[in-house]
């Protein structure tokens, strides 16, 4: 009898462990963890943290992992291989975005508050206007797994400065020394900066900043990615998307 009870108990434990592992690792068909495709690509998934324009993790970001359609991941790997020869790397800020996170953004835009931390990202534009002006989409391409937010890292440079939530940084259009550190090259603005200076072809940036933007756009274009003109950091792969999804991003099993 005790042997039967022990066997039943062990079987139950194994079943629970299997379910937990499957839950932690499972993704819908066609989606992959970018880390499984190319672990050398740096990731800083900002919506899984408090270091973003809302100031807290967004709904659906159960893990800070870049999840993409497989084709997107393979093309990013090709971009990374090209950049690696120049001692550079991609750095991912956002990949697949659950649809519930976009709804979270909508609710945020309508909450009637404008905090100093939010103003770092929106120095001139009221957040109620961000959707109308095309800075945030209520139905995002990110939810198809074919859109990305990213930047470049110069692997020869010192990128060790970390974001400190206790510091009062200047807004996203300020010189790189004054705004929140992102551990990347100076693109002229911070990530998610809703300002004309964040437009890819902005005239108000320095020649070096313009050169970095052009370098990123060209490297991504060689693998078929298209940049969004109002955001130097946003790229998508035409034809790789399809339906929008709302599954939460699960932790990746090592």
pLDDT at 3: 39
Beta strands 88-94 and 42-43, pairing class: parallel
Q: Which residue has 């807004």 as its token pair? A: 171
Buried b (16+ CB within 10 A) or exposed e, 190-221: bbbbbbebbbbebeebeeebbebbeebbebbe
Which pLDDT score, from 0 to 100, does residue 134 have? 85
Question: What distance in Å separates the CA atoms of residue 60 and residue 167, rounded to the nearest whole number?
Answer: 27
pLDDT tens digit at each of 254 positions of the chain: 333 333 333 333 223 233 333 334 589 989 999 999 999 999 999 999 999 999 999 999 999 999 999 999 999 999 999 999 999 999 999 999 999 999 999 999 999 999 988 999 999 999 999 888 888 888 899 999 999 999 999 999 999 999 999 999 999 999 999 999 999 999 999 999 999 999 999 999 999 999 999 999 999 999 999 999 999 999 999 998 899 999 999 999 87
Domain boundaries, the chain: 31-236
Beta bridge partners, 92, equal: 43, 150
Which CATH number describes the domain made up of 31-236? 3.30.1380.10
Q: What is the structure's pLDDT at 15? A: 32
Check residue 83 and give its pLDDT: 98
Q: What are phi and psi of 134, to 5 degrees?
A: 85, 20
pLDDT score of 86: 98
């Amino acid at each position: 009898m005790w042997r039967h009870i022990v066997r039943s108990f062990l079987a139950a434990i194994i079943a629970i462990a299997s379910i937990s592992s499957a839950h932690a690792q499972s993704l819908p068909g066609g989606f992959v963890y970018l880390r499984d495709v190319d672990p050398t690509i740096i990731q800083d998934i900002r919506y899984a943290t408090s270091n973003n324009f809302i100031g807290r993790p967004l709904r659906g970001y159960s893990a800070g992992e870049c999840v993409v359609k497989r084709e997107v991941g393979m093309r990013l790997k090709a971009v990374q291989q090209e950049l690696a020869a120049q001692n550079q790397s991609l750095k991912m800020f956002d990949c697949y975005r659950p649809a519930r996170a976009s709804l979270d953004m909508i609710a945020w835009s309508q909450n009637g508050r404008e905090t100093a931390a939010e103003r770092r990202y929106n120095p001139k534009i009221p957040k109620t206007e961000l959707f109308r002006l095309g800075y945030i989409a209520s139905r995002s391409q990110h939810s198809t797994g074919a859109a990305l937010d990213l930047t470049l890292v110069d692997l020869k440079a010192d990128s060790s400065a970390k974001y400190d939530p206790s510091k009062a940084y200047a807004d996203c259009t300020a010189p790189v020394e004054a705004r929140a550190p992102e551990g990347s090259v100076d693109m002229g603005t911070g990530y998610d900066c809703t300002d004309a200076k964040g437009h890819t072809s902005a005239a108000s940036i320095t020649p070096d900043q313009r050169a970095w933007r052009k370098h990123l756009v060209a490297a991504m274009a060689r693998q078929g990615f298209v940049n969004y003109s109002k955001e130097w950091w946003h790229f998508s792969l035409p034809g790789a998307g399809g339906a929008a999804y709302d599954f939460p991003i699960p932790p990746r099993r090592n």
